Amino acid sequence: MNLCDVRFVKKLMAKYGTGTKKGFGQNFLINPSVPEGIAEESYSYHKSKCDNKKCGVLEIGPGIGSLTNELCGCYDTVLAIEIDKTLIPILDETLSEHNNVTVINDDFLKLDLNELISKYFDGSSISVCANLPYYITTPIIMKLLESARDENGKSKLCSITVMVQKEVASRLCANETDKDYGAITASINYYGRVTHLFDVGPENFLPAPKVTSSVIRIELYDEPIYKTKSEKMLFKVIEGAFAQRRKTMVNSLSSVITNIPKSRIGEIIEKLGFDINIRGERLSIKDFCALADEFYGEIN
């Protein structure tokens, strides 16, 4: 079956009395080269980094299974989480030839990620590969980064290869010299390195979205390359630095870090060699870690 053939997709949806749902951000791929390319990018990087003989992949939002089918041909184990219960019988049909896939009907954001990993990927190296619903892209990515870690803070994931809205991809791939650089960029840079892979135009989807998409890969560090005394303080500083983008770091941070006087915040910023009028978008994750450690030491 050709899961990227428009006529077949429409016939399949009609057979099960359902259709694409805007509320779930559903846009199904109709160009076979796209899921092939996404799966290949995910698997090739996974194999280059992980020498484990068993490799698994987690997919969030499989839809009718076009990307899932490609992943089943690459990985030893595939776990797909689909929130739309009307798509489950469709996935049962479209994935019927594969015996290495499990589909769960649930909301990924409500699931215990470490429990899933223990249950379905025991002994496997793991990557994530998905065509993410645009409306919950950031919460999904941050859950993957924050939750999939062992008791020593080491990531349980090899990489995250996802398709997102191009505008979001620009933010995720930005550095501190770019206008798109923001809190989400700095936060993700703590966990790994983001690479832009390729763009996907609206014509590759059913229905066609109004925006261009991009496929990116987050190449996760085994553990953060810049150490910090307190991750809680680090992310508080990052959030505060971008809370009021038009204001200087001193003014923006003083509204979040209320237990350190504003004047002292300015002194600490200058102590680290930054201009007193610097804004958050000019600081790298290394800079944020250094700043967070100073604030943490000031309080504790």
What pLDDT digit, counting tens, does each position of 13-36 carry? 999 998 878 777 788 999 999 999
Task: Please indicate, yes or no, if residue 82 is contained in any of the structural domains.
Answer: yes
- The Cα 126–Cα 155 span in angstroms is 10
Task: Please indicate, yes or no, if residue 146 is contained in any of the structural domains.
Answer: yes
- pLDDT band per the 50, 70, 90 thresholds, residue 222: confident
pLDDT of residue 82: 96
Domain count of the chain?
Answer: 2
Q: Which of 2, 69, 29 is nearest to 200 (CA)?
A: 29
Range with the lowest mean pLDDT among 9-23, 75-89, 93-107, 155-169? 9-23
Task: Please indicate, yes or no, if residue 57 is contained in any of the structural domains.
Answer: yes
- pLDDT band per the 50, 70, 90 thresholds, residue 134: confident
Find the mean pLDDT for residues 212-233. Answer: 94
Same structural domain, 123 and 166: yes
End position of a domain, from candidates 170, 192, 220: 220
Same structural domain, 153 and 261: no
- The Cα 270–Cα 116 span in angstroms is 45
pLDDT of residue 264: 95
CATH number at residue 273: 1.10.8.100
Same structural domain, 46 and 113: yes
Q: Taking each helix axis from N to C terminus, what angle separates 285-299 and 231-243, rounded to the nearest 10 degrees? A: 110
Same structural domain, 272 and 149: no
Range with the lowest mean pLDDT among 21-25, 117-121, 151-155? 21-25
- The range of the structural domain enclosing residue 49 comes to 6-220
CATH number at residue 167: 3.40.50.150
Task: Please indicate, yes or no, if residue 226 is contained in any of the structural domains.
Answer: no
> Mean pLDDT of all residues in the chain?
93
End position of a domain, from candidates 195, 220, 245: 220
Same structural domain, 31 and 52: yes
- pLDDT band per the 50, 70, 90 thresholds, residue 112: very high
End position of a domain, from candidates 187, 220, 253: 220
What pLDDT digit, counting tens, does each position of 29-66 carry? 999 999 999 999 999 999 999 876 799 999 999 999 99
In the chain, the percentage of residues whose pLDDT exceeds 70 is: 100
Same structural domain, 208 and 61: yes
Longest dimension (CA), the chain: 67
